Structure 1
Amino acid sequence: MAHYNTAQRDILLKLLEQYAGKALSIGEILKLLEKTPDAPGKSTVYRLISSFEKEGLVLRHALSKGRGYAYTLSRDNCNEHLHLKCSSCQKIEHLGDDETKMIERNLSSVGFKLLSGSTTIVGICRQCQSDTERKKEQT
């Protein structure tokens, strides 16, 4: 599918690159764009994100409790591995190929085929775990 390289498209892509590794909801994207000159409006952001998703430029991640979606830039082989999402800071990490294959083998042994490209495992990242432990120690 062909696309036009518009200023608004470039602005949105640059924003997503700036926040690479963090899942951003449409609301968060709009808030971050508020002070950007010539920023795309709400409907344009929705349209561009949809276009980026179809082009494979972004990945869509479900937010907890069915509150919508958040988006991250896709890497070249994103559909070949799992993604880990921190429920605390919303950071997205790419699980290595070896680890992904190990999980796929374990699931295969019980007759389950994993669709890696659409799989995000939600948990708490190492940094947020450390922060929580420090807070507990201080109380």
Structure 2
Amino acid sequence: MVANSLSRRVNSDLRAMLAGLSLLDDGSLLAKLQVKPMWVGQIKSKQLMDETLGTRLRQVKNGETLDFGINCEGVLCFRGRMCIPKDNDLRQSILLEAHSSFYAMHPGGNKMYRNFEKLYWWPGLKR
């Protein structure tokens, strides 16, 4: 590839997104991107303010529960799914993203719920 202002811009943009860049033998550039929901930090900070989830965090730290745990990002999870604090704005933004984003496929409510429940949990989620 001949270096020009556009190729340099793309490379710097990819590095800014913490993409893993590799130059292959044929001269092509391979970018590995890791997608992470933008609200993980919000979930983590709001879990600390949520009374119920704060209790669960303490139980996990004391080894008193097996259903709850902390993932590699430090987020409290219930059976591997992120526990969403009782914050209506946060829950609505997550639901809106799952339902309306460019990356979401919406073949039906039940299918969307089954995909959604693999990642997130809160009491009354299905309702």
| Highest RCO, 1 vs 2 (Cα 8 Å, sep ≥ 6) | 1
TM-score > 0.5, shorter chain as reference? no
TM-score class normalised by the smaller sequence = under 0.3
Return the structure number with greater helix share. Answer: 1
